[in-house]
Amino acid sequence: MKVTVKKVHGSGNDFYIIDEMLLSEALPEEKRRQLALTLCDRQQSLGGADGVLYVSPSKTALARMRVINSDGSEASMCGNGLRTVARYLAEKHQLTDFTVETMKAILKVSEDEPLAEGIPTYRVEISPVTFAKETLPLVIDGEQLYDERVPAFSEQLHYSAVAVPNPHLISFVEGADFADQEKLARWLNSDNPYFTDGVNVSYVRRFSEDAIFVKTYERGVGFTNACGTAMSASSLMARLIHGGDFERKIDVYNPGGRVQCQVYREADTYRIDLIGNATFVFEAELVISADAKAVTVMSQTTTAEQIAYERMAQQAAQFVEAQSSI
Ligand SMILES: N[C@@H](CCC[C@H](N)C(=O)O)C(=O)O
């Protein structure tokens, strides 16, 4: 079977986009999962990825996006991925504002002002937001986990759990206190009594009211350069716990660069806009074996977009470095 893939990234969180509407035959569900496992393998000749974004027809929006993590599990949402799918669909249909169907919500997306020179930038809606423990799911005594100490997680840190709608556990840390993050995240993404479906675990440093740094261990992947829904959830928690005007942009630094988030409060509901790069790295024509375990690259065309992106990412890294020495 022939498949065209687009290698893309949002803040270095990288994916292959596969437009199922361009395939000559339908992809059975098991093949979709196996193809994601094969393509995401970092030893694979195209370099692997954090996930695959399948684009398919929708009755309620311009198109539908499904997110398969590198371990083959499906996620309800992907913020960085949605920006790249938004750009893909915008260019395909010559549109700037439209909606995309995701597993649990139909979300607004639009083209935005470039984050820096030469960087195609998209704004995507992150919602619905809920703290209800059943939605995560999270097993605890109270109704929600909001800025609380959980001795089983850490003796010192406070944690909040929020679904946007994929599940996130967030803790604000001092300095470079990231030491136990991996151990905790690995535990909460294996057999554990708290997060029965696993959780994305983010440790957040606060530089100022409007600037934070977020490092995320993603469910189904491991540490990534950035996680869009995690940066959105962290921005929400920054406003709720540490204050600052809702709707004012927050610069969110991450190991892969920088994005911006705007948190909106309407009565007692919240939504977040995530704004950042939607970078196309290359397009490749592939032949996939019948069991989807082998891929042959027929052709590959690389763009020059990564150069502008790396310039911005380097500036972001210098800013983070400077904050660390304060
Ligand atoms: N990288 C994504 C989130 C992808 C899904 C996540 N690993 C999960 O399983 O919930 C993002 O940018 O939001």
Q: How do residues 235-286 score in pLDDT, each as one tens digit? A: 999 999 999 999 999 999 999 999 999 999 999 899 999 999 999 999 999 9
Domain assignment present for residue 302? The answer is yes
Residues 180, 166, single domain; the answer is yes
Q: How far is the CA of 317 from the centre of ligand 1 (A)?
A: 22
Q: How far is the CA of 211 from the centre of ligand 1 (A)?
A: 22
pLDDT by 10s per residue, the chain, length 326: 999 999 999 999 999 999 999 999 999 999 999 999 999 999 999 999 999 999 999 999 999 999 999 999 999 999 999 999 999 999 999 999 999 999 999 999 999 999 999 999 999 999 999 999 999 999 999 999 999 999 999 999 999 999 999 999 999 998 666 779 999 999 999 999 999 999 999 999 999 999 999 999 999 999 999 999 999 999 999 999 999 999 999 999 999 999 999 999 999 899 999 999 999 999 999 999 999 999 999 999 999 999 999 999 999 999 999 998 76
Domain assignment present for residue 321? The answer is no
Q: Are 82 and 89 in contact (CB under 8 A)?
A: no
Domain assignment present for residue 325? The answer is no
Residue ranges making up the domain that contains 78: 2-124+277-316
Domain assignment present for residue 50? The answer is yes
Lining ligand 1 with CB less than 6 A are 13, 67, 69, 75, 78-81, 166, 200, 218-221, 224, 227-229
Res 268: pLDDT: 86
ipTM over 0.95: yes
Give how many domains the chain has, as a whole number.
Answer: 2
Exposed / middle / buried, residue 48 (Cβ in 10 Å: 0-12, 13-18, 19+): middle
Residues 166, 218, single domain; the answer is yes
Residues 302, 210, single domain; the answer is no
Domain assignment present for residue 323? The answer is no
Helix, strand, coil distribution of the chain in percent, nearest 5: 25, 40, 40
Is residue 40 flagged as an active site residue? no
Residues 210, 291, single domain; the answer is no
Residues 140, 264, single domain; the answer is yes
Residues 25, 141, single domain; the answer is no
Residues 152, 94, single domain; the answer is no
Residues 265, 167, single domain; the answer is yes
Directed axis angle between helix 228-242 and helix 79-93, to 10°?
120
Last residue of a domain, one of 256, 274, 292: 274
Residues 96, 144, single domain; the answer is no
Is residue 227 flagged as an active site residue? yes
CATH code where residue 54 lies: 3.10.310.10
Please name which of 125, 103, 128, 101 lies closest in space to residue 112, comparing C-alpha atoms: 125
| Catalytic choice (18, 35, 185, 227) | 227
Q: How many CB atoms lie within 10 A of CB 207?
A: 16
pLDDT tens digits for 50-72? Answer: 999 999 999 999 999 999 999 99
Residues 270, 294, single domain; the answer is no
